[in-house]
């Protein structure tokens, strides 16, 4: 099963994502913030990363930059869930390959469809 | 038309009656000299006249006495001479007498008589009154008096004195009967002067008169000039020794010089008095101006603004105390120096320089960071404009006003952040609700997931409602729109009531709640509903951020100064960094354990706002790993606490 890392400080959101993704056939790992997520990726790179922007300690933007810095050969896609206001400030994302923005409040179906397109689940 | 009009003169220092003022000024300029000249002319003439008169009279008297004495001597001589010559002639024989008469005075005897300076006449009278003039003296014009001798006089020798008919000339006449004839009487008359002028006396008189006059003049000048001068001299030296500027008593001397001096002194005193009056007025004006200046400076120093005035050359001519606070590092003596000489910031100096040339700096145009306090940078905003004199419109220089805009900028940034954060905080539960409800649409959802989803949605809606309430309350309090409905509350009853409702809602908890609220607390006057929100927030935080099986302590106590309400927990405690920001809006700890609890970072902000609205204070003490204690304190000096009422 493809392993998806979710960096999200809101536990309710993580919970609903986890249920939905597991039902869709993914394995889900959780990081409370950017730091935890980066640590996790260093040890075992996931098949995809879904991250929030506003997080304590290390936010989503810094997480993406650090991943790009530390793992220039990265292949897994990144989905950034963010609000409209933050999307307007995404100049920084130009230097980061295979990154998709998903506008909050996001539809679960849209997320799963996006994920299925980039990380197909083996039947 | 001396219409008195009150005017304020140029420098605005005094109010005076201009008409009388001018008259007085004119008087002062001409009056002393005119008066001096007038006095001298009047006094000099009578000073000399009586002296002259006295001199002439004394001289005359002297001469009269002298000539009277002279006349007496001469008359005595005449008496002797007359008697002897009369006796001699009476004894002459008849023939000899006839010869004498015939010789017409040629005889040596009569020559002598004729030479006598006072001899008038010599005649022989018969018993029938027939007169025969024998000899006449040089004193012509007097004539021979026709006074006849009495019978007794005709028979004896004697003399008689009489005056002429006009009574102007006194005459002494000697008579004697001629012995040889027996019937004839001889009469010899002499002048008998009352006064006698010695020959040449007039020359002495003419010579001595000027001498006497000179002497008198000398005395007069000594008395009238030298003595007053001497007195003046003494007076001057006593005045030089610092004695009173005084007039001299002139009632005895009546010296015009001293009069003049006294007039001068009186005049000088008047002038000095006027000067003193003016000086007093000036001094008062100066004090008033100085007071005005101090007051203006005090007002300017009390302003929370930096105020400075630059002259046309760009030098600082005035600055208030605050001004220098905006230029830390600048020397305190900047007055008289141009901006570039002292400004620690070259950029500001350059901007001010260009602003001066281009006619000012608009507010907000120039802002610069002038100091660092803790983590904040303090920002100043400069504005500059030309100041013109109210009357002439001339430029008085540039007025420069510097304002600290740190808090304005901070508030602006805070309100922007508040809006963003509020939107974010509202979006998060919305996001959750949307995703759970989307999941619920799945047909094949496990029943326990379905229940969990519904519960989550329910909680999140609650959380949103809570958030919206808090947001509204904070906004109201911060904008000053909230109405406080204060009522008198029995503190212990009020706190017990809160405790009871908390116990009801938290009855499934493993926590121990300790209540320590004495009955005897003073009453407080508060908005019950608002304060309840505060205390509930603190209690629910104490429950939320606690350990399993921990303790919540809800206590109140009354000290001499205050009523203290404290809520303690046995939770993880609050780090020092978190304590600094715990009351900031939307602040949430970065600690992962704490963030696992739902929260939006507004509860403590609202709690503190409400407490402060009641003039109370909210403080936190905490030890990591042991717990935290929040304390609300209402000072008894505020009118919140009603002392003695229970």
The pLDDT assigned to B606 comes to: 87
Kindly calculate the radius of gyration of chain A based on its CA atoms and give it in whole angstroms: 13
The pLDDT score that the predictor gives to residue A84 is 64
Handedness of CA B573, B575, B580, B585 (dihedral sign): negative
Q: Work out the pLDDT band at B19, boundaries 50, 70, 90.
A: very low
ipTM of the complex: 0.89
- Torsion sign, CA atoms B596, B600, B617, B577: positive
Chain A CB within 8 Å of residue B592 CB? yes
Which of chain B's residues have a Cβ under 8 Å away from the Cβ of A33? 592
CA–CA gap between residue B65 and residue B171 (Å, rounded): 21
- Position B288 scores a pLDDT of 94
Give the mean model confidence (pLDDT) for residues B12-20: 43
Residues B552-609: tens digit of each pLDDT? 999 999 998 899 999 999 989 898 888 888 888 778 777 777 776 767 778 888 899 8
Mean pLDDT of B480-489: 82
Q: Which of residues 8-27 of A touch B (CB under 8 A)?
A: 9-13, 15-17, 19-20, 23
pLDDT tens-digit readout, B242-285: 777 778 887 777 777 788 888 888 888 899 899 999 999 999 99
Residues of chain B in contact with residue A16, where contact means CB-CB under 8 angstroms, are 432, 435-436, 439, 453, 456
With bands split at pLDDT 50, 70 and 90, how would you rate the model's confidence at B538?
A: very high
Burial code of B348-386, b = ≥16 C-beta within 10 A, e = fewer?
bbebbeebbeeebbeeeebebebbeeeeeebbbbbbbee
The answer to whether residue B595 neighbours chain A at the CB level (below 8 Å) is yes
Whether the pLDDT of residue B210 is over 80: the answer is no
- CB distance B19 to B3 below 8 Å: yes
Determine the pLDDT at residue B565.
94
Inter-chain touch B456–A11, beta carbons under 8 Å: no
Residue B630 corresponds to which tokens in the numbers above? Answer: 């929040």
pTM (2 d.p.)? 0.47
Does the beta-carbon distance from B590 to A16 stay under 8 Å?
Answer: no
Taking residues B345-361, what's their average pLDDT? 79
CA distances from B333 to A91, B343, B346, B382, B575 (A): 51, 11, 18, 20, 46
Measured in Å, how far apart are chain B's first and last C-alpha atoms?
Answer: 84
pLDDT at residue B7 in the model: 42
Bridge partners of A29, per DSSP, are A5
pLDDT, residue A26, reads 92
Band (B167; pLDDT cuts 50, 70, 90): low
Q: Do B424 and A12 touch (CB under 8 A)?
A: no
Is B150 exposed, middle or buried (CB count within 10 Å of its CB: 0-12, 13-18, 19+)?
exposed
H or E segment to which residue A4 belongs: strand A3-7
Task: Look at residue B292 in the predicted model and tell me its pLDDT.
Answer: 93
Q: How many CB pairs under 8 A join A and B?
A: 57
Q: For residues B5 and B147, give the distance between their C-alpha atoms in angstroms, rounded to a whole number.
A: 96
What percent of chain B stands above pLDDT 90? 12
Interchain CB contact of B442 with A (< 8 Å): yes
From the list A9, A83, A107, the residue facing B427 with the nearest CB is: A83
Q: Does A83 touch chain B (CB under 8 A)?
A: yes
Q: Which of B52-61, B199-208, B514-523, B538-547 has the lowest mean pLDDT?
A: B199-208
- Min Cα separation B596/chain A (Å): 7
Strands B131-136 and B119-125: antiparallel
According to DSSP, the β-strands at B523-526 and B641-642 are antiparallel
The DSSP-derived string for B161-229 is EEE-TTS-SEEEEEEEE-TTTSS-EEEEEEE--SS-PPTTHHHHHHHHHHHHHHHHHHHHHIIIIIHHH
> What phi and psi, each to the nearest 5 degrees, are found at residue B536?
-60, -40
CA closest to A31 among chain B residues: B592
**Segments in B327-405 forming alpha helices (H):** 339-342, 346-357
Q: Which residues, in sequence order, are bridge partners of residue B515?
A: B554
Residue B30 pLDDT > 50: no
CA dist B527 and B550 (Å) reads 31
Question: In 3-state terms, what secondary structure has residue B337?
Answer: coil
Q: How far A73 CA sits from the closest chain B CA (Å)?
A: 31
B464 touches chain A (CB under 8 A): no
By C-alpha distance, the chain B residue nearest A14 is B432
Tokens 């019937």 belong to B183
What is the residue-averaged pLDDT of chain B? 80
A33 touches chain B (CB under 8 A): yes
Q: Please report which confidence band the pLDDT of residue B33 belongs to, taking 50, 70 and 90 as the band edges.
A: very low
Is A12 close to B456, i.e. CB distance below 8 A? yes
Averaged pLDDT for residues B309-319: 85
Distance CA B392, CA A59 (A): 64
User: For A53-106, what is each residue's pLDDT tens digit?
Assistant: 888 788 888 899 999 989 888 889 999 987 766 666 778 888 888 888 888 777
pLDDT, residue B352, reads 81
Interval B361-376: pLDDT, tens? 887 778 888 887 777 7
| pLDDT value for B530 | 87
Exposed (0-12), middle (13-18) or buried (19+): which is B419, by Cβ within 10 Å? exposed
Q: Is B435 within 8 Å of A13 when comparing Cβ atoms?
A: yes
Q: Which of B431, B434, B439 sits opposite A19 (nearest CB)?
A: B439
- What is the strand order of the sheet A27-31 is part of? A27-31, A3-7, A48-52, A78-82, A99-103
**DSSP code per residue over A66-102:** HHHHH-TT--S-EEEEE-HHHHHT-GGGGGSSSEEEE
* DSSP label at residue B483: P
- pLDDT number for residue A71: 87
């Amino acid at each position: 099963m493809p392993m998806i890392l979710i960096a999200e400080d809101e536990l309710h959101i993580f919970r609903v994502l986890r249920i939905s993704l597991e039902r869709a056939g993914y394995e889900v790992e959780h990081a409370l913030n950017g730091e935890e997520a980066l640590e996790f990726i260093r040890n075992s790179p996931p098949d995809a990363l879904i991250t929030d922007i506003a997080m304590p300690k290390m936010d989503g933007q810094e997480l993406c930059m650090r991943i790009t810095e530390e793992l220039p050969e990265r292949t897994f896609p990144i989905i950034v869930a963010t609000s409209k206001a933050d999307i307007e400030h995404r100049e920084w994302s130009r230097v980061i390959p295979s990154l998709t923005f998903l506008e909050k409040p996001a539809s679960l179906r849209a997320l799963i469809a996006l994920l299925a397109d980039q990380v197909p689940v083996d039947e | 038309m001396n219409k008195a009009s009150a005017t304020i003169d140029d420098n605005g220092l005094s109010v005076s009656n201009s008409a009388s003022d001018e008259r007085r000024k004119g008087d002062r300029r001409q009056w002393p000299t005119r008066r001096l000249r007038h006095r001298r002319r009047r006094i000099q003439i009578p000073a000399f006249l009586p002296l002259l008169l006295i001199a002439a009279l004394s001289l005359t008297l002297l001469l009269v006495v002298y000539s009277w004495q002279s006349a007496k001597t001469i008359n005595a001589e005449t008496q002797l001479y007359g008697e002897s010559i009369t006796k001699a002639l009476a004894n002459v024989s008849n023939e000899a007498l006839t010869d004498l008469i015939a010789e017409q005075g040629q005889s040596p005897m009569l020559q002598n008589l004729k030479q006598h300076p006072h001899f008038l006449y010599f005649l022989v009278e018969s018993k029938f009154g027939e007169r025969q003039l024998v000899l006449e003296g040089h004193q012509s014009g007097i004539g021979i008096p026709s006074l006849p001798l009495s019978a007794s006089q005709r028979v004896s020798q004697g003399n008689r004195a009489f005056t002429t008919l006009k009574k102007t000339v006194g005459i002494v006449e000697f008579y004697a009967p001629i012995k040889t004839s027996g019937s004839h009487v001889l009469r010899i008359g002499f002048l008998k002067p009352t006064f006698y002028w010695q020959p040449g006396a007039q020359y002495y008189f003419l010579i001595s008169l000027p001498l006497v006059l000179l002497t008198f003049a000398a005395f007069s000048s000594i008395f009238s000039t030298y003595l007053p001068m001497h007195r003046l001299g003494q007076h001057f030296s006593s005045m030089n020794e610092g004695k009173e500027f005084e007039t001299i008593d002139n009632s005895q001397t009546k010296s015009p010089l001293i009069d003049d001096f006294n007039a001068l002194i009186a005049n000088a005193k008047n002038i000095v008095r006027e000067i003193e009056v003016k000086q007093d007025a000036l001094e008062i004006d100066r004090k008033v101006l100085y007071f005005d200046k101090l007051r203006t400076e005090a007002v300017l120093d009390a302003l929370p603004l930096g105020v400075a005035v630059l002259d046309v050359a760009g030098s600082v001519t005035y600055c208030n105390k605050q001004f220098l606070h905006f230029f830390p590092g600048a020397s305190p003596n900047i007055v008289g120096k141009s901006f570039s000489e002292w400004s620690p910031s070259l950029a500001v100096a350059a901007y001010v320089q260009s602003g001066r040339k281009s006619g000012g700096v608009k507010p907000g145009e120039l802002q610069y960071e002038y100091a660092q306090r803790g983590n904040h940078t303090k920002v100043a905003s400069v504005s500059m404009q030309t100041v013109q004199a109210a009357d002439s419109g001339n430029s008085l220089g540039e007025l420069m006003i510097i304002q600290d805009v740190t808090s304005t900028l901070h508030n602006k940034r805070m309100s922007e952040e508040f809006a963003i954060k509020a939107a974010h905080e509202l979006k998060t539960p919305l996001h959750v609700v949307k995703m759970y409800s989307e999941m619920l649409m799945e047909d094949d959802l496990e029943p326990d997931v379905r229940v969990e989803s519904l519960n989550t949605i329910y909680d999140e809606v609650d959380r949103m409602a809570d958030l919206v309430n808090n947001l509204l309350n904070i906004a109201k309090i911060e904008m000053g729109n909230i109405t406080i409905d204060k009522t008198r509350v029995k503190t212990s009853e009020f706190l017990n009531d809160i405790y009871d409702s908390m116990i009801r809602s938290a009855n499934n908890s493993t926590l121990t709640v300790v209540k320590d609220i004495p009955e005897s607390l003073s009453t407080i006057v508060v908005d019950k509903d608002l304060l309840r929100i505060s205390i509930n927030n603190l209690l629910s935080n104490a429950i939320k951020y606690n350990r399993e099986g921990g303790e919540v302590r809800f206590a109140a106590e009354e000290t001499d100064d205050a009523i203290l309400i404290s809520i303690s927990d046995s939770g993880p405690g609050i780090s020092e960094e978190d304590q600094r920001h715990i009351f900031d809006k939307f602040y949430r700890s970065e600690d992962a354990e704490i963030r696992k609890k739902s929260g939006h970072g507004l509860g403590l902000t609202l709690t503190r706002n409400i407490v402060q609205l009641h003039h109370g204070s909210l403080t936190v003490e905490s030890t990591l790993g042991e717990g935290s204690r929040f304390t609300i304190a209402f000072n008894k000096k505020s009118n919140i606490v009603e002392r003695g009422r229970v």
